[in-house]
Structure 1
Amino acid sequence: MLKTNFLHIFITILVISIYPWLETLAFDTQLKITLALIFLLGIPHGAIDHILLRKKKQSTKQQIQFYAFYLGLIGAYVITWIVFPYFSLVVFFLISFFHFGQSQFSDVKIEESSKGKKLLYLSWGGSIISGLFYHHYDRLIEFFLETSHFNQTATIITPTSLSYFFVITSIATFILMAYLLLFKVNSKNRFFSEIGVFLLLHLAFYTLPPLLAFALYFAVWHSLKVLYEEYKYLGTKRKKFKFNHFIKELLPFTLMSVAGVLILLFAFSYFQFSISPFFLTIIFLSVLTLPHSVVMDNWYKKMQRK
Structure 2
Amino acid sequence: MTSSLKKLEYFHYGVISTLFFIVILPLIDQKIINFLGGFSILTVGILHGANDLKIISKRFKTQVGNLYIKSLFTYIFVVLIGAAFFFIAPSLSLLIFILFSSYHFGEQHWSDDVKQNIMGLFFYLSYGALVFFLIFSTQHLEVSQVMQKISGKDDFLHFFNLPQSFDGFINSYLAFEFFIGITIALLVLFILNLIYNGLISKYLFRELILLLFLFILFYLSTLLFAFAFYFVVWHSIPSLKDQLNYLHGEINLKSIMKYLKHSLLYWFISIFSLFMIYKYVDFESTYFMSLFFSFLAAISFPHVIVVGMMKSQ
Query: Same fold per TM (> 0.5)?
Result: yes
Q: How many matched pairs?
A: 291
Structure 2, gaps ≥5 residues long: 1-6, 155-164
Partner of 1:18: 24
Task: Determine helix, strand or coil for the equivalent of 1:43.
Answer: helix
| Aligned pairs for 1:238-249 within 5 A | 241-249=254-262
The 8 Å contact of residues 181 and 190 in structure 1, kept in 2 or not, is answered as no
Partner of 2:14: 8
> What is the letter of the counterpart of residue 153 of structure 2?
H
2:26 pairs with 1:47 = no
Partner of 2:265: 252
| Displacement of 1:239 | 11
Give the 4+ runs in structure 1 shifted more than 4 A. 237-241, 272-275
Deviation string, structure 1 residues 160-205 (Cα, Å, up to 9, x no partner): 332222111111012112321437xxxx444433333222222221
Task: Determine helix, strand or coil for the equivalent of 2:153.
Answer: helix
User: Quick one: structure 1 residues 265 and 60, their matched pair in 2 at CA, closer, same or farther if it must change by over 3 Å?
Assistant: farther
2:89 pairs with 1:67 = no
The 8 Å contact of residues 100 and 222 in structure 1, kept in 2 or not, is answered as yes
Partner of 2:160: none
User: Quick one: structure 1 residues 272 and 288, their matched pair in 2 at CA, closer, same or farther if it must change by over 3 Å?
Assistant: closer
2:39 pairs with 1:36 = yes
Structure 1, gaps ≥5 residues long: none
CA distance in 2, matches of 1:211, 1:194: 23
Question: What's the TM-score once normalised by structure 2's chain length?
Answer: 0.84
RMSD after superposition:
2.5
CA distance in 2, matches of 1:233, 1:261: 29
Partner of 2:99: 94
User: Quick one: structure 1 residues 240 and 46, their matched pair in 2 at CA, closer, same or farther if it must change by over 3 Å?
Assistant: closer
CA distance in 1, matches of 2:103, 2:15: 22
Task: Determine helix, strand or coil for the equivalent of 1:138.
Answer: helix
Deviation string, structure 1 residues 236-278 (Cα, Å, up to 9, x no partner): 189994322222122221122111112222223xx44587111
CA distance in 1, matches of 2:70, 2:87: 26
The 8 Å contact of residues 235 and 241 in structure 1, kept in 2 or not, is answered as no
Of residues 171, 175, 193, the one that matches 2:192 is 175
> What is the letter of the counterpart of residue 41 of structure 1?
V
CA distance in 1, matches of 2:250, 2:61: 10
Percent identical pairs in the alignment equals 22
> What is the letter of the counterpart of residue 48 of structure 1?
N
> What is the letter of the counterpart of residue 205 of structure 1?
F
The 8 Å contact of residues 97 and 122 in structure 1, kept in 2 or not, is answered as yes
Question: What's the TM-score once normalised by structure 1's chain length?
Answer: 0.86
> What is the letter of the counterpart of residue 120 of structure 2?
K
The 8 Å contact of residues 178 and 191 in structure 1, kept in 2 or not, is answered as no
| Displacement of 1:95 | 0.7
User: Quick one: structure 1 residues 127 and 34, their matched pair in 2 at CA, closer, same or farther if it must change by over 3 Å?
Assistant: same
The 8 Å contact of residues 30 and 222 in structure 2, kept in 1 or not, is answered as no
2:119 pairs with 1:116 = yes
User: Quick one: structure 1 residues 238 and 206, their matched pair in 2 at CA, closer, same or farther if it must change by over 3 Å?
Assistant: closer
CA distance in 2, matches of 1:59, 1:43: 28
The 8 Å contact of residues 81 and 88 in structure 1, kept in 2 or not, is answered as yes
User: Quick one: structure 1 residues 238 and 60, their matched pair in 2 at CA, closer, same or farther if it must change by over 3 Å?
Assistant: farther
Deviation string, structure 1 residues 118-145 (Cα, Å, up to 9, x no partner): 1211111111101101111112212333
CA distance in 2, matches of 1:34, 1:281: 12
The 8 Å contact of residues 134 and 183 in structure 2, kept in 1 or not, is answered as yes
Which moves more between the two structures, 190-199 or 134-143? 190-199
CA distance in 2, matches of 1:139, 1:56: 45
